Amino acid sequence: MEFWQGFTAATGDDGPFTDRYPALMPDGSRLVLPLRDYGAIAVAGFIANQAAIEVALRIGVWMTQVARSLDAEVVVGMPTLGQVFAPMVAQGLGHRNWVAPGWSRKRWYEDALSVPASSSTAPAERRLWLDPRILPRLAGKRALLVDDVISTGSSALAGVALLERAGVRPVGLLLAMTQGDRWCDGWPPDIPVRAAFASPIFTRVPGGWMPAPGTARDALCHRSVVGDARRAGVIASAAT
């Protein structure tokens, strides 16, 4: 089976799950995600640049909606997969452009605009770079950091550190998916996190895996945040 190629209707399957998990989307549909066995736990995977275009576009719309209350003036897309969504979000927020850090150093880059980085899926340390020529886009602006998934938080924290090298504290972190809650304890409390959808940590049970209660950070996601805003009259109920 090829994952992330379309949304499905709810199946009523509450587990145990073996190799896949139907994650709940903001519109009530499901996106089937592969389960990755980490031994004691499992997590649901999402690789944005392997998703169908219509899937990525729809998730980008949900991300844009949940980000509006952060009043960002510039979007910063984390490489590699956060840059699938960063231009969509920037356009949806009415911005002319966005900022794209990268993993490779160009000849004119400066050491001062670089930080070490790693992630749960790419644990080997590498360096994250910011082009000094793009600093005017960030100067004095409310910057929104965008990534695809947060798992342990290490790569997102590198993005925060890189922006601080440029003299910017992000007004928020925007994600397609929060993957469990392992990132929560180390995340800066002054940087709000928003996401289109959430997936839990899974624990092993007879017959497969079950979601660990309380590990899906649903309160940060579209269904909760946009729902609250609509009830408060901040977002029109007709918006989809």
**Secondary structure (H, E, C), 120-133:** CCCCCCEEEECCHH
Average pLDDT rounded to a whole number, residues 79-104: 98
Closest CA to 170 of 129, 134, 138: 138
In a domain, 19, yes or no: no
CATH number of the domain enclosing 185: 3.40.50.2020
Distances (CA, A) of 186 to 27, 151, 182, 206: 31, 12, 9, 32
- Split into its structural domains, the chain has a count of 1
Cα–Cα distance between 16 and 202 in angstroms, integer?
10
In a domain, 102, yes or no: yes
Res. 94: pLDDT tops 90: yes
124-128, 134-138, 172-176, 177-181: least confidently modelled range: 124-128
Q: What is the pLDDT of residue 236?
A: 46
Q: What is the pLDDT of residue 239?
A: 41
In a domain, 234, yes or no: no
In a domain, 173, yes or no: yes
In a domain, 80, yes or no: yes
Torsion over CA: 75, 90, 194, 121 (sign): negative
In a domain, 35, yes or no: no
Q: What is the mean pLDDT of the chain?
A: 93
Cα–Cα distance between 224 and 230 in angstroms, integer?
10
* Global confidence as pTM: 0.92
Q: Which residue stretches of 74-153 are H helix?
A: 82-92
Q: What is the pLDDT of residue 231?
A: 59
In a domain, 210, yes or no: no
Cα–Cα distance between 59 and 18 in angstroms, integer?
25
3-state secondary structure of 33: strand
Question: CA torsion, points 197, 68, 81, 192, in degrees to nearest 10?
Answer: -70
Q: What is the pLDDT of residue 38?
A: 95
Q: Give the CA radius of gyration of the chain.
A: 18
Q: What is the pLDDT of residue 120?
A: 66
Average pLDDT rounded to a whole number, residues 203-217: 97
Domain that holds residue 130: 52-198
Q: How confident is the model at residue 238 (pLDDT cuts 50, 70, 90)?
A: very low
In a domain, 23, yes or no: no
Cα–Cα distance between 72 and 121 in angstroms, integer?
28
